[in-house]
Amino acid sequence: MTEGLVEGNVNLVDGNDLGWHAKGMVNLPLGERAAIRAVGYYTQYGGFIDAIGPAGGEGINGGERYGGRLALTIDTGEGFSITPRFIYQKIAANGFNRKEIWNLYANPDQADPTVFDEREQNLRLREAFEDETPIADLVAEVELGAVTLTSVSFFTNRDILVSRDASALSGSVSVDLGYPTAALNLPSNLRDTTDVNAITQELRLSSNRSGPFQWVVGGFCSSADRLYRQCLPTPGYAARPMLRWAREPLRRSPMAFRTSIRPTMPISPTNWSRSPFSAKRHTPSPTLSM
């Protein structure tokens, strides 16, 4: 049966910035043995933090989120079915929910005193946050007589960026080091990036006959790799920009076995037996500072 749904919303954040969202879903049969399901959404976040300074503005912490899901199921009706699925989401924000009371460049102690208003900050550079995540998985089931074989394959990638205005931090270090005024006013951007890739493969066998004794046996292996980097580019600064990075691969391969007995009474005792966890953890690369 074909069906769909659409939903929307509009909101105003404290009389400051407009936000809204919309999402929709559709189920579409493809003959008698297949069907597709699609979901999509978009959200606009209203900002409620204002900023003063060279990169000032209103509602600077606004942002957006969008993504969707697409799944296809094919069932032959002869003991075989397969369901590939793809999910994607991206979140982006133009600033952070931060209120400042004192800033190196704007404070009550300077010659031209500054008192921050409610939900206000000082910026020399615009800030940003981004999180992009695609996910793909594939589930397949095959009936082999009295046994069902299930395979689940999973892949995910996640890229994260956190970009902050570190001008006040770098400027305060310049003050402590006795650097000239020109060094205090240099814009400085602290950037943190994380890249994660993960793959998982699971196989399991299970009984598919009715009866008091049911069992499942299976295992999976997974591989994940995370790369984290941090840098502080400050053009014009006497020192070289700071660079930190770390890579951390992780491998896992546990096995599991489950049995359950279903008597006529409404009691189902279950016994689990799991093999010792086996993981190989690689020592992260050393942190470098330049």
Question: What confidence score (pLDDT) does residue 135 get?
Answer: 98
Is a pLDDT exceeding 80 seen at residue 289? Answer: no
Residue 178 pLDDT level (bands cut at 50, 70, 90): confident
271 inside domain: yes
* Least trusted range by pLDDT, from 26-35, 72-81, 228-237, 248-257: 248-257
Helix or strand (DSSP H, E) at 8: strand 3-13
Mean pLDDT across the chain: 85
264 inside domain: yes
The percentage of residues in the chain with a pLDDT greater than 70, rounded to a whole number, is: 81
Question: What confidence score (pLDDT) does residue 211 get?
Answer: 82
67 inside domain: yes
Which of 254, 259, 252, 253 lies closest to 282, judged by CA?
252
Question: What confidence score (pLDDT) does residue 251 get?
Answer: 64
Question: What confidence score (pLDDT) does residue 161 get?
Answer: 97
Question: What confidence score (pLDDT) does residue 267 get?
Answer: 41
Higher model confidence: residue 237 or residue 289? 237
Q: 244-280 pLDDT, tens per residue? A: 666 667 666 555 555 554 544 444 444 444 444 343 4
Q: 70-101 pLDDT, tens per residue? A: 999 999 989 999 999 999 999 999 999 999 99
Is a pLDDT exceeding 70 seen at residue 40? Answer: yes
Question: What confidence score (pLDDT) does residue 70 get?
Answer: 98
What's the Cα-to-Cα distance from 127 to each of 22, 93, 203, rounded to whole Å? 26, 8, 44
Residue 103 pLDDT level (bands cut at 50, 70, 90): very high
Determine how β-strand 120-122 pairs with β-strand 128-144. Answer: unpaired
Q: 41-64 pLDDT, tens per residue? A: 999 999 999 999 999 999 999 999
Question: What confidence score (pLDDT) does residue 51 get?
Answer: 96
Q: Which two tokens stand for residue 24?
A: 């929709």
129 inside domain: yes
Q: In sequence order, what are the residues at sequence separation of 6 or more whose Cβ sits closer than 8 angstroms to the Cβ of residue 202? A: 150, 151, 152, 153, 154, 218, 219, 220
Residue 177 pLDDT level (bands cut at 50, 70, 90): confident
Residue 220 pLDDT level (bands cut at 50, 70, 90): confident
Residue 243 pLDDT level (bands cut at 50, 70, 90): low
Is a pLDDT exceeding 60 seen at residue 283? Answer: no
186 inside domain: yes
Question: What confidence score (pLDDT) does residue 147 get?
Answer: 95
Is a pLDDT exceeding 60 seen at residue 4? Answer: yes
Is a pLDDT exceeding 70 seen at residue 282? Answer: no
What sign has the CA pseudo-torsion 102, 103, 109, 111? negative
Question: What confidence score (pLDDT) does residue 264 get?
Answer: 43
> How many domains in the chain?
1
287 inside domain: no
CA dist 121 and 104 (Å) reads: 11
Is a pLDDT exceeding 80 seen at residue 1? Answer: no
39 inside domain: yes
Question: What confidence score (pLDDT) does residue 213 get?
Answer: 84
Q: Which two tokens stand for residue 212?
A: 């008091």
Determine how β-strand 50-52 pairs with β-strand 120-122. Answer: parallel
Domain with 87, as residue range(s), is 3-281
121 inside domain: yes
Helix or strand (DSSP H, E) at 289: none
Range 241-245 contact pairs with CB under 8 angstroms and sequence separation of 24 or more: 241/290, 242/289, 242/290, 243/288, 243/289, 243/290, 244/287, 244/288, 244/289, 245/285, 245/287, 245/288
